[in-house]
Amino acid sequence: MFNEIKGILFFIFIFLCIGSIGLTILDLVNNRYFKEFENIKSLNNKGKYMDIDYLLIKETWDRNENTSEGIRFDIEGTLLSDGSNLKLSVGFKEYIDFNLKYQPLYKSKLTGYYFLKDAPKEYYNGKYRGMYALIVLKFAFYFIITFLIYSLIKYIKNRKYRL
């Protein structure tokens, strides 16, 4: 039983390492490393860092159609400001007011990301949780790299004296 738990924890640790390293490297290469910090800053001060835009919804869909509850809900439409198409992950159908012709959105001036404007507190809490989880993964990257370099140096030293 104990070995099975160790195996599961090791498996989770390996996926954490792969996810953390992959996410950090991709965000560094694509110049998006601080986007979560900037999105949090934008959401905390909406008047200063957000613009208001409107979305004409063309298509909606549930990503989990097998259950009676929609676990994830997406919308796609055309932005009123520039006519470009936008696909937005909303979370739940209840966060959208389908009585409106144009759905109000916030656009971050710092990152260009879109968020629902008149969504309930749960929507924003979910966005914050996701951003903080990504920050933790990026922060864990440095501990993981340090551990891997230390382990490699230790292995090389032990291997060197073994010959």
Q: What is the C-alpha to C-alpha distance for residues 60 and 69, in angstroms, rounded to an integer?
A: 15
**What's the whole-model pTM score?**
0.80
Query: Helix/strand/coil (H, E, C) string of 19-54?
Result: HHHHHHHHHHHCCCCCHHHHHHHHHHCHHHHEEEEE
Chain segment 11-51, per-residue pLDDT in tens: 998 988 899 999 999 999 998 899 999 999 999 999 999 99
pLDDT at 66: 58
Highest mean pLDDT among 49-53, 69-73, 81-85: 49-53
Where along the chain do its domains lie?
A: 1-33+123-163, 48-119
Chain segment 47-64, per-residue pLDDT in tens: 999 999 999 988 887 766
